[in-house]
Chain A
C-alpha cells in the first residue's frame, strides 16, 4: 500500500467552529507532514512528526494543533480559524532517516473553506 489518505475531502467551517483533519498511511514511514497550499503557490510546510514526536513547527499559529496518535495517523485540529486560513491542506509521509532520497508521498488534500 503506497497511499496516503486524507479525510474529509472538503470542509466548510465557521470561525467559531472546532474541526479536525485526518491523515493515514500504512507504508511504515517514520515521518509525517502537514502542509498548507494556497492557489498557484507551492506547499508551505507547517509541521513535521518524526517517530510520532513533533520535530518541526514552522511558527504556525496556535489555532492549528497537530496530533500524532500513532505511527500511521496524523491529525490537525482546527479552532477559531480565520478566512485567510482557507486553503488546501496536504498531508505527506516519508521513510526519513539519514541517507536515501527521502521522497515524500502526498495525500489528495482537504479543501478547507473558513467563512
Chain B
C-alpha cells in the first residue's frame, strides 16, 4: 500500500539556519503531496501542497518540490525562526482511490535563539 517515510528527529537548529526535512513516498497511483505543521497544543495546519510532478508548493518561506523520479517531497526553508518550532508531517492523498490521507510519523523541530 501507499506509505510516507520522513526523518523522525528531533531536529535542533539555531535561528537563521537552513532547514531540510526529508520525505519520500511510495504510491501506486498519482497522489497529491502535503506538508502539515502542528504547533504545541494545536491541531494540524496545512503548510503547503503539490498536486503533480515538478509542482513546487510554498508558504511562509517554506518550499517543497514534488519529485516523481526520486519519489520525494523534501521540505526546505532558508532561514528558520524560533516560531517555526513545531512538528512537521509529510502526507499523501490519492483521491482516485479514497478520501484518506496517509501521514508520515512526523518530525519535531526545535529552533534555538
A98-B96, A100-B95, A101-B93 known; 19 new pairs, CB 8 Å cut-off, are: A6-B43, A31-B99, A41-B106, A43-B44, A48-B100, A50-B99, A56-B99, A90-B44, A94-B99, A96-B95, A98-B95, A101-B34, A101-B51, A104-B46, A104-B93, A105-B46, A106-B36, A108-B42, A109-B43
State how many angstroms separate the Cβ of A6 from the closest Cβ of chain B.
Answer: 8
Interface residue A42 (Cβ < 8 Å from any Cβ of B):
yes
Contacts of A48 in B (CB 8 A): 99-100
Interface residue B49 (Cβ < 8 Å from any Cβ of A):
yes
Interface residues of B (CB under 8 A from A): 32, 34, 36, 42-46, 49, 51, 89, 93, 95-96, 98-101, 103-106, 108
How many contacts between A and B, using CB within 8 angstroms? 67
Residue from A33, A42, A101, A102 in contact with B105 in the complex, judged by beta carbons closer than 8 Å: A42
Interface size on A, residues (CB 8 A): 30
Contacts of A82 in B (CB 8 A): none
The answer to whether B34 and A90 touch across the interface, beta carbons within 8 angstroms, is no
A106-B99 contact given A42-B105, A101-B49, CB 8 Å threshold: no
State how many angstroms separate the Cβ of B45 from the closest Cβ of chain A.
Answer: 7
The answer to whether B34 and A103 touch across the interface, beta carbons within 8 angstroms, is yes
Interface residue A45 (Cβ < 8 Å from any Cβ of B):
yes
